[in-house]
Chains A and B, each alone.
Chain A
């Protein structure tokens, strides 16, 4: 059993991609599968900061939203091709991450969370008020991408399954990147900072710079999720920047298991599936999902994937002793 876990851990990116390749065939409909991809990536990006660096941001919608809006505006106002929109969207979110990060990392603990929340609200209102560019309350409409040219093929982006696999290419690349970062020397430093800032500084690591880089990388990954969402929805709703959206990242991470590689993806999938199922039953789906969330936080603090890992490890250890 432990061999199996070790194998999956070593090839974690491959394992996620293998699961994601078959996902659209087991999910009720493709659009939901695309959402799982996008929000899975959003949660993974958030987890880089929350689970691995130990910083709880309540403003990550800023990066999802900035990614969406910049990509959307590039297509709607500048008539740029879809790939240029993605590049610009990620660049915009990264820059936003750098700016907000510079201000937020001066604070710690609950103050950090509050500062990110406040800055997130500023970003929300900035986009809300910039109606000529962003469409204000109505959101940015007309982010139309119908055909995609990838490696010499023309793909029909309106076809849900094709869209899913195109989005998967980007999500897979981002997951590979995050996995590399976590396995790098820098990945060790962010965990050291999470565990003990004082000791990390005494070891010679610049804690502020480490946090800023982690924050910016996290924003870039969430920004990519945002650009993909704009292409997926053909519209950028103003809700993308809402603090509820920031809270969703926290919920997905905790639900799936913070500080694990697969956890956020599992959390995002469970969250969206729950939402999908429960909205058919009641308008008050948030109450139901909230209750389930609380059960997890109270009784399974490691989240779904974290708990599964623990059980598997225990089972493996027990067998090893026998």
Chain B
């Protein structure tokens, strides 16, 4: 049993009168690939936003590597070691693919330096080149991000998230809107990344993640329905009833 890298305790989220998440307590084991699944409207995206720092929970605590990070600003999450990729592609559209990754990598080195030329920071250029290569965008660095195909932009997102060298990588439906071929490539990439660092991804399609993840968290109507290994989840009667529909 490995230690937990991230855990949430009694997390709830309300939007006005609407309760999106209710009293969720769950842990994410370090070094494993965990998938958060659930039918539409289960609260997956809200939960993702809470653990990735987009907004704080209404109640409860989020603990990363033993420190309470509840309510910290988005940029502090990234600096703590949590990077994320968005469900809707979020890149710097007018900048080149290379610059997208380079600026993401730059965060660890320099944020408010005004007079140092960034040309002098060659290690960032190399890091960006290597990451582009890694996600299958080698040779496309000079292209503007907005000129890349949808699947390539998703890959670029992953490269940007990895550029921060996170210990925890969060991904919100990384294959959303992708063709079956692109999906296969993406799932391979995610499997590879998960060998090096802890990955938590939100996925709508359960089948897609069953084969590659070691741990599953099932949400339903904003509540934790079940968690466990793929086998445990497959045989869970509750999950079968609400999710698989039989």
- A and B associate in one complex: yes
Which A residues contact B (CB, under 8 angstroms)? 180-181, 183-189, 191-192, 195-196, 198-207, 209-210, 213, 217
Q: Let me know if A202 and B83 touch, CB within 8 A.
A: yes
The listed residue with most B CB atoms (<10 A of its CB), out of A180, A189, A210, is: A189
The 7 closest A-B pairs by CB, nearest first: A204-B78, A195-B92, A185-B110, A204-B107, A201-B74, A199-B90, A203-B104
Knowing A202-B74, A202-B84, A205-B75 touch, does A189 contact B93 (C-beta < 8 A)?
A: no
| Other contacts beyond A181-B115, A199-B86, A203-B160: 7, CB < 8 A | A185-B121, A188-B106, A189-B103, A191-B95, A199-B91, A202-B78, A203-B104
Instruction: List the B side residues contacting A198 at CB < 8 Å.
Output: 74, 86, 90
A51 to chain B, nearest CB (A): 12
CB < 8 Å neighbour of B118 from A187, A196, A203, A204: A187
By the criterion CB–CB under 8 Å, are B116 and A185 in contact? Answer: yes
Contact across chains for A199 and B92 when beta carbons are under 8 A apart: yes
8 CB-based A-B contacts, threshold 8 Å:
A185-B121, A186-B111, A191-B92, A192-B92, A196-B93, A198-B90, A200-B92, A207-B75
Chain B 151-171 interface mask (CB, 8 Å, partner A; 1/0): 000000000100110000000
| Chain B min CB distance to A265 (Å) | 21
Residues in B neighbouring A206, C-beta threshold 8 A: 73, 75, 111
- Name the residue in B84, B103, B113, B115 with the highest tally of chain A Cβ atoms < 10 Å from its Cβ: B103
Bound-complex Cα distance A187 to B121 (A):
14
Q: Cβ of A210: which chain B residues have Cβ within 8 Å of it?
A: 111-112
Chain B residues contacting A189 (CB-CB under 8 Å) are 103, 106, 111
Report which residue of B84, B107, B109 has the largest number of chain A beta carbons within 10 angstroms of its beta carbon. B107
**Cβ of B17 < 8 Å from any Cβ of A?**
no
Is the Cβ of A180 less than 8 Å from the Cβ of B114?
A: yes
- List residues of B (76-122) whose CB comes within 8 Å of A's CBs: 77-79, 83-84, 86, 90-95, 99, 102-104, 106-119, 121
A205 to B79, CA, bound (A): 9
Asked if A185 meets B73 with Cβ closer than 8 Å, knowing A199-B90, A202-B83, the reply is no
A-chain residues with CB within 8 Å of residue B86 when the two chains form the complex? 198-199, 202
Distance (whole angstroms) from the CB of A301 to the closest CB of chain B: 13
Within the assembled complex, what's the spacing in Å between the Cα atoms of A18 and B66?
59
Query: How many whole Å from A74's CB to the nearest CB in chain B?
Result: 26
Binding site for A on B (CB under 8 A): 52, 73-75, 77-79, 83-84, 86, 90-95, 99, 102-104, 106-119, 121, 160, 163-164
A183 touches B73 (CB 8 A): no
Q: Are B117 and A184 in contact (CB under 8 A)?
A: yes
Q: Nearest-CB distance from B158 to chain A (Å)? A: 13
Specify which chain B residues have a CB less than 8 angstroms from the CB of A204 in the assembled complex.
75, 78-79, 107-108, 111, 164
How far is A88 from B84 in the complex, measured between Cα atoms in Å?
45
Contact B99 A188 (CB under 8 A): yes
Chain B residues with CB under 8 Å of A196's CB are 90-93
In the docked arrangement, what's the CA distance between A198 and B75, Å?
9
Chain A residues with Cβ below 8 Å from B163 are 203
Please indicate the chain A residues that have their CB under 8 angstroms from the CB of B112 in the complex.
186, 209-210, 213
Q: Is the CB of A205 within 8 A of B107?
A: yes
Q: Is the CB of A185 within 8 A of B109?
A: yes
Chain B residues lying within 8 Å of A187, measured Cβ to Cβ, are 118
Interchain nearest-CB distance for A113 vs B (Å): 21
- B118 near A184 with CB under 8 A, answer yes
Which A residues touch B90, using CB under 8 A? 196, 198-199, 202
A268 to B224, CA, bound (A): 61
Residues of A within 8 A of B78 (CB): 201-204
| Cβ contact of A195, chosen from B93, B113, B117, cutoff 8 A | B93
The smallest beta-carbon distance between B98 and chain A, in angstroms, is 12
- B52, B77, B92, B108 — most chain A CB neighbours (10 Å): B92
The interface residues of chain B lying within 8 Å CB-to-CB of A195 are: 91-95
B25 shortest CB reach to chain A, Å: 25
- Chain A, Cβ-Cβ closest to B157: A199
Q: Is the CB of B106 within 8 A of A181?
A: no
Partner pick for A188 among B75, B77, B91, B118, CB 8 A cutoff: B118
CA separation between A71 and B219, bound complex, in Å?
Answer: 64
The answer to whether B116 touches A184 (Cβ under 8 A) is yes
Please, which residue of chain A has its CB at the minimum distance from the CB of B112? A186
> Are B114 and A186 in touch, CB under 8 angstroms?
yes
| Given A180-B117, A202-B86, A205-B75, CB of A185 within 8 Å of CB of B106 | yes
Once bound together, how far apart are the Cα atoms of A202 and B108, in whole Å? 13
> CA A188 – CA B103 in complex, angstroms?
6
Q: Name the A residues within 8 Å of B95 (CB-CB).
A: 191-192, 195
Q: Can you name the residue of chain B whose Cβ is closest to the Cβ of A181?
A: B114
By a CB distance below 8 angstroms, the chain A residues around B91 are 195-196, 199
- Cα–Cα, bound, A188→B98 (Å): 12
Cβ A203 vs Cβ B103 within 8 A: yes
With A and B bound together, what is the CA distance between A198 and B93 in angstroms? 13
Complex: A68 Cα to B83 Cα, angstroms: 46
Task: Judge whether A183 and B118 touch: CB under 8 Å.
Answer: yes
Measured CB to CB, the closest approach of chain B to A108, in angstroms, equals 15
Whole-angstrom distance between the alpha carbons of A198 and B90 in the complex?
A: 8
